Amino acid sequence: MKSGIVFDLNNKKATIMVNGGEFISVPRDAQWEIGDVVQIERKHFGIKQLAVLAALVGIMLFGSASGYKLYYSQVALISIDVNPSIEFSLNRFDKVIGIKGYNEEGAQIVSDLQLKNKSYNEAIKILLQSEEMKAYVKKDSQVEVAVYAKKNTKDLKASVDAEVSKLLKGQIDSEVHCYEVGNELVSEAHASEMTPGKYKAYLDLKEYEPELQAEECQDLSVKEIRQRISAHHQEESGKGGNNNDSSGHQNGENGNGNGSGDHSGKGQQKQQKKGRGH
Amino acid sequence: MDDFSLRLVKCKQDNQELNKLIEEYMPFITSEAAKTGITGLEMEDKVSLAMLTFMNCVKTYEEGRGGFIAYAAMCIRNRILDEGRKSKRQGFIVLHDDDEKERAVWNVASTSQYSKEQEKIALREEIERLSTELAEYQISFTSLVDICPKQKRSRAVCMQMARAILADGEMRDKLVRARQLSVGNLAKSCRVSQKTVEKYRRYVIVLVLILSGDFPYIGTYLPTEKGGED
Beta-carbon-side half-sphere exposure of residue A168 (alpha carbons within 13 Å): 29
In chain A, whose CA is at the least distance from the CA of B150? Answer: A104
CA distance A42 to B156: 19
Q: What interface predicted TM-score (ipTM) does this complex get?
A: 0.73
> What mean pLDDT is predicted for residues B137-152?
88
**Any chain B CB within 8 A of the CB of A9?**
no
Chain A's closest residue to B219, CA to CA, is: A21
- Cβ of B88 under 8 Å from any chain A Cβ? no
Identity of the residue in B3, B191, B199 whose CB atom sits nearest the CB atom of A20: B3
Please check whether residue B153 touches A, CB under 8 A: yes
Instruction: Measure B131 CA to nearest chain A CA, in Å.
Output: 9
pLDDT of residue B53: 86
Q: In chain A, what residues touch B230 (CB-CB under 8 Å)?
A: 20
Percentage, residues of chain B above pLDDT 90? 19
Q: Give the rounded percent of residues in chain B with a pLDDT score beyond 70.
A: 81
**Nearest Cβ partner for A104 among B2, B149, B221:** B149
- For CATH 2.30.30, list the domain ranges present in chain A: 2-71
Question: Rounded mean pLDDT of A9-25?
Answer: 90
Give the residue, A8 or B80, on which the prediction is more confident.
Answer: A8
Give the residue-averaged pLDDT of A69-95.
87
| Per-residue confidence (pLDDT) for residue A42, from 0 to 100 | 59
- Residues sharing a CB contact under 8 Å with residue B120, sequence separation 6 or more, in sequence order: A33, A35, A36, A37
pLDDT single digits (tens) B50-61: 888 888 888 888
B residues 18-77 near A, CB within 8 Å? 67
User: Residue B152: its chain A contacts at CB < 8 A?
Assistant: 20
pLDDT at B51: 87
CB count, 10 Å around CB of B116?
15
Give ∠ CA A53-A58-A63 in degrees, rounded to 5: 130
Least confident of A14-23, A26-35, B76-85: B76-85
Q: What pLDDT sits at residue B205?
A: 95
Going by pLDDT thresholds of 50, 70 and 90, the confidence category of residue A33 is very high
Sign of CA dihedral B106, B109, B111, B112: positive
Give chain A positions within 8 Å (CB) of B227. Answer: 193
Span B102-113, pLDDT tens digits: 555 544 444 555
Out of A8, A33, A104, closest to residue B150 by CB? A104
Beta-carbon contacts of A256 under 8 Å, excluding residues fewer than 6 positions away, are none
Residue-level pLDDT at B113: 57
- By Cβ distance, the residue of A4, A8, A20 closest to B155 is A20
Question: Higher-confidence residue: A220 or B42?
Answer: A220
Q: Are B8 and B69 in contact (CB under 8 A)?
A: no
pLDDT greater than 50 at residue A13: yes
pLDDT at A123: 92
Q: Is the pLDDT of residue A38 over 90?
A: no
Residue A60: band (very low, low, confident or very high) from pLDDT cuts 50, 70, 90: low
* Amino acid B146: pLDDT: 87
Mean pLDDT of A48-64: 51
Q: Is a pLDDT exceeding 80 seen at residue B89?
A: no
What was the pLDDT predicted at A79? 95
- Residues B199 and B209: their CA atoms lie apart, in Å, by 18
> Which pLDDT score, from 0 to 100, does residue A252 have?
35
- Residue of A19, A42, A220 to mutate, testing the B interface (most B Cβ within 10 Å of its Cβ): A19
Residue B47 has pLDDT above 70, yes or no: yes
Tell me the pLDDT band of B224, cut-offs 50, 70 and 90.
confident
Q: What is the pLDDT of residue B15?
A: 81
* Per-residue exposure over B164-187, b if at least 16 CB sit within 10 Å of its own CB, e if not: bbeebeebbebbeeeeebbeebbb
Q: What is the Cα–Cα distance from A4 to A32, expressed in whole angstroms? A: 12
Closest CA of chain A from B96, distance in Å: 34
Chain B interface includes A5 (CB < 8 A) = yes
- The DSSP annotation for B16-30 comes to HHHHHHHHHTHHHHH
* Residue-averaged pLDDT of chain B: 81
Domain A2-71: CATH class, spelled out: mainly beta
Name residues whose C-beta falls within 8 Å of residue A148's C-beta, 6 or more positions apart in sequence: A76, A77, A78, A180, A181, A182, A183, A185, A186, A196, A275
What pLDDT, on a 0 to 100 scale, did the predictor assign at position A56? Answer: 55
Cβ under 8 Å to B: A residues 87-116: 101, 103-104, 107-108, 111
Tell me how far apart the alpha carbons of residues A192 and B150 are, in angstroms, rounded to a whole number.
18
Q: Which residues of B touch A10 (CB under 8 A)?
A: 142
Q: How far apart are CA A96 and CA A78, in angstroms?
A: 10
Contact residues, chain B, for A17 at CB < 8 Å: 144, 218, 221
Q: How far is A33 from chain B (nearest CA, A)?
A: 9
Q: Any chain A CB within 8 A of the CB of B132? A: no
Residue-level pLDDT at B43:
79
B84 touches chain A (CB under 8 A): no
Which pLDDT score is estimated for A45?
Answer: 33
Q: What is the pLDDT of residues A152-181, one digit of tens each?
A: 888 888 889 888 988 888 888 887 889 899
CA-to-CA distance for A37 and A41, rounded, in angstroms? Answer: 13
Question: Given an 8 Å threshold on Cβ–Cβ distance, is B221 in contact with A36?
Answer: no
When pLDDT is cut at 50, 70 and 90, the band that residue B86 belongs to is low
Is the CB of B123 less than 8 angstroms away from the CB of A17? no
Q: Which residues of chain B lie closer than 8 angstroms to A104, CB-CB?
A: 149-151, 154, 199
Mean local confidence (pLDDT), B163-176: 90
Contacts of residue A23 in chain B, CB cutoff 8 Å?
A: 141, 144-145, 148
Q: Is the pTM of this model over 0.80?
A: no
- Write the pLDDT tens digit of every residue in A228-252: 998 998 888 875 555 444 444 433 3
Instruction: Write the DSSP assignment of A137-196 as a string of letters.
Output: --TT---EEEEEESS-HHHHHHHHHHHHHHHHTTT-SSPPEEEE--HHHHHHHHHTTS-H
- The torsion defined by the Cα of B135, B141, B146 and B147, in degrees rounded to 10, comes to 50
- Closest residue in B to A22 (Cα) is B148
Q: How confident is the model at residue A222 (pLDDT cuts 50, 70, 90)?
A: confident
Which residues of chain A have a CB within 8 Å of the CB of B215?
Answer: none
Confidence class for position A78, pLDDT limits 50, 70, 90 = very high
Give the pLDDT score at A2. Answer: 76
Q: What is the pLDDT of residues A121-157, one digit of tens each?
A: 899 999 998 888 888 888 888 889 999 998 888 888 8
What does the pLDDT read at residue B103?
54
A215 vs B119, B191, B207: nearest CB:
B191
Across the range A3-29, mean pLDDT stands at 90
The listed range with the strongest mean pLDDT (A49-58, A69-78, A154-163, B55-64) is A154-163
